Amino acid sequence: MKYFKTDIIELNLGPQHPATHGVLRIKLHLDGEMIIKAEILIGYLHRGTEKIMENVNYIQAMVWTDRMDYLAPILNNFGYILAVEKLIGITPPLRGEYIRVILAEFSRIASHLVWLGTHLLDLGFMTPFMYAFREREKILDLLEEVTGQRMNNSFFRIGGVAADLPDGWEERALNFLESFEKNLGEIEKMVYENEIFILRTKNVGILPLELAIELGVTGPPLRGSGIPYDIRKFFPYSSYDHFEFKIPTGEIGDVYDRFYVRMEEMKQSSKIIKQAIKNLPPGDVLLNDFKIVPPSKEKVYNSIEEMIHHFKIISEGIRVPKGEVYASCEGARGELGFYIVSDGTAKPYRVRIRPPSFYNLQALEHILPGNLIQDAIAIIGSFDPVLGEIDR
């Protein structure tokens, strides 16, 4: 049998592409349709967040953290606030912690719904995209009633949350969760029994467990390969140990397993929200310490002491003791960590953000060779990178 002499083609899966999730650029070396080498180039959305955060004070620096992982903005705020509170040494009141958990889990469900819609759109289904975004609109309505904005809502404060829940919000949230689980079952039936979906996702893009641990992968890709590593269970924060929930895992780490892990996570999040709403304790939502939290307006207008506290906090910022701390929370894509170095003034000396998708995307260079080019699109979608947090 005679073989033709072929060359290796270099193809650019460029920054502007309908199927890469953001401005991601991959240089593929192809032999026919088989990928031989993949080189990932990032940095097209580098905005200099870490340098900007060194020039503003701790209260103002929270605004830039929402815009990193723009699909689940509340979870970014969560990580930053945990680090600053650990540095100062305070804990918010219990009602504030429960409200934080409720909003964080809603944000996680909203992020996974965008993943669901766009991943299935890459694989060829157009209907689940519309269904997923319909559910997401209802969640964004609920968030808008509490925080005032649909996306990029910097709602958390050092010492609690900014405001209490409005009247009747709990019933609306519980009604939504009932209908959400039914609609999710509808999408599952459409997808799990579909032959094309199974052919495109089973045994494709396998990430072996030892390679995942060596590369520092966390989140659904690591849980799809077998280990139930979740920061909410291993290093519990903000009273997550009061709730009961399971951590779903996969078996071999292919695209189907990562899909299954994220679908089950949405159901577990809805279980956490129901438990939190049923057991919500009464009380304050913000700490009563006036050196850290500005007092309310009635007190400011009526007493000179509170007015001085308010003036000092707004004009200078809060004083944070000298030291360094590393705190992490479970983001929608993995372990989102913040390492803050403080030198005793009102502005941070160094803020380092540990983005989960940065480490997950490193794994892509090792598992893309050996697959066909159409599998590359399915694998990128199953890792779910968000370029806002990779490039910061």
Residues that bind other proteins (CB under 8 A): 14-18, 22-23, 41-48, 50-52, 55, 63-64, 67, 70-71, 86-87, 89, 114, 130, 133-134, 136-137, 150-152, 211, 213-217, 227, 229, 234-235, 323, 325-326, 328, 335, 337, 339, 341, 349-350, 352, 354, 358-359, 362, 366, 387-388, 391
Nearer to other proteins (CB atom), residue 85 or residue 306: 85
Least separation in angstroms between CB 119 and other proteins: 14
Buried b (16+ CB within 10 A) or exposed e, 201-223: beebbbbeeeebeebbbbbbbbb
> Any idea what DSSP says for residue 248?
-
Among candidates 164, 223, 251, which has minimal Cα distance to 360?
Answer: 223
Within the chain, strands assigned E span: 9-13, 25-31, 34-41, 156-157, 160-161, 323-331, 334-342, 350-354
DSSP 130-186: HHHHHHHHHHHHHHHHHHS-SSS---EETTEESSPPPTTHHHHHHHHHHHHHHHHHH
Nearer to other proteins (CB atom), residue 16 or residue 315: 16
Contact 160, 140 (CB under 8 A): no
Query: What is the Cα–Cα distance from 341 to 335, expressed in whole angstroms?
Result: 19
Nearer to other proteins (CB atom), residue 192 or residue 349: 349
> Any idea what DSSP says for residue 60?
T
Nearer to other proteins (CB atom), residue 248 or residue 337: 337
Nearer to other proteins (CB atom), residue 118 or residue 201: 118
Nearer to other proteins (CB atom), residue 342 or residue 382: 342
Least separation in angstroms between CB 127 and other proteins: 11
Exposed, middle or buried, 281 (CB in 10 Å: 0-12/13-18/19+)?
Answer: exposed
Least separation in angstroms between CB 373 and other proteins: 16
Least separation in angstroms between CB 298 and other proteins: 31
| Amino acid at residue number 173 | A
Contact 148, 372 (CB under 8 A): no
Least separation in angstroms between CB 366 and other proteins: 8
Contact 78, 66 (CB under 8 A): no
Nearer to other proteins (CB atom), residue 201 or residue 328: 328
Residue with tokens 């000092």: 312
Least separation in angstroms between CB 265 and other proteins: 20
Least separation in angstroms between CB 311 and other proteins: 25
